[in-house]
Amino acid sequence: MLQSMLSCCKLYISESRNSLALQSIERAATLHPDAAIINKFKDEAYNRVGYTLVSPLTENPFFNSPLNEAVVSMVAEAFKAIDLRSHCGTHPRLGVVDHICFHPLAESTLEQSARLAKMAAAAIGQCLQVPTFLYGAAHEEGRSLASIRRELGYFRPNSGGHEWAGGLCLDISRRKPDKGPSQVDQARGVVVIGATQWVDNYNIPVRSTDMTVVSRLAKRVGGRGGGFDSVQALALAHGKDCIELACNLLEPDRVGADRVQLEVQRLAAQEGLVLEQGYFTDFSRDRIIESYLMRKVD
């Protein structure tokens, strides 16, 4: 029964180098013991950290989910500990808390995940007063994460070279947030919250400094360039002499990392590029469930 009623959230914060800030954010989650951080993925070059949290799914409409309580507590602490105006990194971002996504696990449903996403958006937008945008099953028209990001200029570096730095000068008057104010605080930015089926995040290092060529490769791999329709790929500078293909595998049971790796190898050979083996930034769904259940047993 416990396994069938789990909810999952992936929370991405635009910081990885300030250990004190991350410690305070993680302490905020421990105030809600039914929710647990199952995975933490830090990337120094991107200056970004991703957390995967799991809790039992609460169906009683009069009680908030422990997962939501933990997520909102972490978000509130992130806004206290991090100022986007002093942030820089090679991963794009729209705010201190760049992205939150809820996923169904085991026998829970996408509808239940969407309900959690809407509750989190209400708390962050209205209580914390940060513009909040919904996507996927949490949005009434099912708009995509990529469409919101394109509208808000997420994919265009705002600093020298291939880096994002400083606060955001966003005009969101044409795209009214789903929750929260219509003015953007440069220290906090905005938050995008959604609900989707499970997504695998898989990064493939490319030994190159030619962003034009690697960006062309990313486009050819994904659906927008005639590649896999369930793959989104973005070329991002990652350390010295390396550009990564950051891939979202939207239907990993149909098009998984092995197929993507082989296709990228084929296309890279045509461009004369040298690849490394890709890597996941999170555990598999099954391992996440197993890890949470083992914690409860312990």
The answer to whether 50 and 40 have CB atoms below 8 angstroms apart is yes
Beta strands 132-136 and 191-195, pairing class: parallel
Q: How far apart are CA 206 and CA 276, in angstroms?
A: 6
Residue 238, amino acid: H
DSSP letters, 143-182, are --HHHHHHHTTTTS--SSTT-EES------SSS--SBS-S
Long-range contacts of 253-256 (CB under 8 A, 24+ apart): 254/230, 255/228, 255/230, 255/231, 256/200
91 is catalytic: yes
Q: How far apart are CA 159 and CA 218, in angstroms?
A: 22
The answer to whether 29 and 11 have CB atoms below 8 angstroms apart is no
Of the residues 32, 91, 99, 139, which is catalytic? 91
Per the listing, tokens 């978000």 go with: 75
Which residues are catalytically annotated? 91
